[in-house]
Structure 1
């Protein structure tokens, strides 16, 4: 009997792991939230049908169905309270006095001007978030190349040269991958969703790169030329601005996502509440169409009644995942922010 090829087994295992990782990322982050709601609703509907037709759930009982939808009504009213709370959170962040709004506008303009000055070509940064991120990454790549050129012009020991090369390669690769993701997403979709701008900079260890720059400056303090010191300082400054861009985009994304969530819950919550109330009235009168018809009716009606809850689950799932992967502002590097993090 021929032995299996270990390389083929490893390749198959790697492909399975990659598929599982991609499915997990789609579920947590990249998947369209409405598509995820539809998938979860279809799964729930299928499970209810299977349990009902197998006789494991007593869907022919009018009293049991009445209790089920009465509980669903209570849950839907609770979701209304949650929606109001979300609206209060959004409004508390976007409303303010003229002075407060002016301060916010000035801080954003200062941030943009600082990045424009870091660009060797002194270009004006774009106003579209994806293109702005592309601009920032281009500046980062140029500063990494400038660092490489500065150290090539001087003589250092082999270990120092290797550290600088690793830093330059890592930063350059990071910026190129982000630019590729932005360009690929721009070709694939015309959506203006802020998540499209935030996704390319999740799970990138900018804090580690900043730490490496500071480590090189500290260990080579007496051996650095003026051009090398300037190149390290400029690269660190751009890395800090990239980290700031990431967190600012996270803020914009969170506001947008919460507003979208609130709107979706309101648009689906009212019809779901109406349908659930009709079911309570119908089954409260003892109406029963028999086991097969009741199973189909109850499964479909209950699935529709839980759509607002599924919307809340899918949106909050991504919000919390994004929050976990961007927890710090540069001082530390938790496991969630590493490329291999959760």
Structure 2
């Protein structure tokens, strides 16, 4: 396959790793991924308050009609009950995954032990670290070392093979160093590991490595082929580690979200009831009309606090899931025309 005829790079066509330029881009990443979820929920709540007060100041909405306000309050009570019920259902679904038989629990435990043993074997250490970020850091260092070793081995190969493989290994080294720096600055939590891992496009690197191994099977020396297999194995380990940490993170994140929603549910319902009671007097609102819009706006923010939590948590879990949707070298995020490889049926014949 005329791979050397193209100058297209073998570097990742995937996630951007490293410094992100632009205030808007950095804020989007913070809002979707990196930011504390309670902080994001607070921003959403403040935005709701500003919008409601702003609409009042502009004369778009009014708080003087008791019938309209009480209808809105009744709707918010019903909506809050529905949201809390939905969250409780999600929590029960998560808990159901934890109910298992002894055999399944043993298989799950043995799988984790086997994975840690493979990581330790690949890295040449007695045992793998316990912290998720340190495990990923160790695998990334193993990937980088495998790429450097492969580059050294192919230094005496013919120019076409050497050029093609060095393109790939240089890209792997660069990406590995960038992710390693990110992990060095990260904490030891599961989310820190997931946050760093979603920016590493190991699926594309695995695809390219597999293609190079098969395309140059007759040109690579046995040592180079073995080293390429080592690199492929390390990339597979990274993919397994990321999926394991992602699953653990999502379970803990959704459980935490369920807890916070229950905590906010009671104040939310009480605030909606209080809005209705403010207009219960037949003579009109029971507080000064001058401060009434601001009091009602604050109560509306409290009523919508479970929704703000839903927005903040679902944005992050959905973004994490979307960015890690690939399974091995099957990459649904890629455009069909991306990449330097163009294959046709029966080409090897």
TM-score bucket of the superposed structures, by smaller chain: 0.7 to 0.9
Residues 143 and 234 in structure 1, CA contact (< 8 A), matched pair in contact too = yes
Residues 239 and 328 in structure 2, CA contact (< 8 A), matched pair in contact too = yes
Matched residue SS, 1:251: helix
**Unaligned regions of 5+ residues in structure 1, if any?**
1-14, 187-191
Matched residue SS, 2:291: helix
State the 1:290 CA deviation.
4.8
In the alignment, which of 143, 156, 165 is matched to residue 158 of structure 2? 156
**Unaligned regions of 5+ residues in structure 2, if any?**
1-18, 339-349
Of stretches 233-242 and 203-212 in structure 1, the one that deviates more from structure 2 is 203-212
Residues 132 and 189 in structure 2, CA contact (< 8 A), matched pair in contact too = no
Residue 22 of structure 2: aligned partner: 18
Whole-angstrom distance in 1 between the partners of 2:91 and 2:299: 28
Whole-angstrom distance in 1 between the partners of 2:138 and 2:32: 28
Residue 134 of structure 2: aligned partner: 131
Residue 9 of structure 1: aligned partner: none
Whole-angstrom distance in 2 between the partners of 1:199 and 1:22: 14
Of stretches 94-103 and 15-24 in structure 1, the one that deviates more from structure 2 is 15-24
**Does the alignment pair 1:144 with 2:142?**
no
Query: Where in structure 2 are the equivalents of 1:299-314 lying within 5 Å?
Result: 299-314=297-312
Deviations 1:209-258 (A, max 9, x none): 11221222222212222211110100001011111111111111110110
Higher fraction of helix = 1
Residue 182 of structure 2: aligned partner: 181
Residue 222 of structure 2: aligned partner: 226
Residues 161 and 220 in structure 2, CA contact (< 8 A), matched pair in contact too = no
Whole-angstrom distance in 1 between the partners of 2:92 and 2:290: 45
Residue 344 of structure 2: aligned partner: none
State the 1:122 CA deviation.
2.9
Q: How many residues align?
A: 316
Residues 272 and 306 in structure 1, CA contact (< 8 A), matched pair in contact too = yes
Whole-angstrom distance in 2 between the partners of 1:93 and 1:133: 25
Report the CA distance shift for 1:182/1:16 in structure 2 as closer, same or farther (over 3 A). closer
State the 1:284 CA deviation.
3.0
State the 1:57 CA deviation.
0.9
TM-score when scaled to structure 1? 0.87
**Does the alignment pair 1:90 with 2:94?**
yes
Deviations 1:172-220 (A, max 9, x none): 112211111111123xxxxx54221101111432122112212222222
In the alignment, which of 262, 266, 290 is matched to residue 266 of structure 1? 262
Report the CA distance shift for 1:228/1:336 in structure 2 as closer, same or farther (over 3 A). closer
Residues 324 and 336 in structure 1, CA contact (< 8 A), matched pair in contact too = no
Report the CA distance shift for 1:17/1:126 in structure 2 as closer, same or farther (over 3 A). closer
Matched residue SS, 1:284: coil
State the 1:18 CA deviation.
2.3
The runs of 4+ residues in structure 1 deviating greater than 4 Å are: none
Whole-angstrom distance in 2 between the partners of 1:150 and 1:133: 26
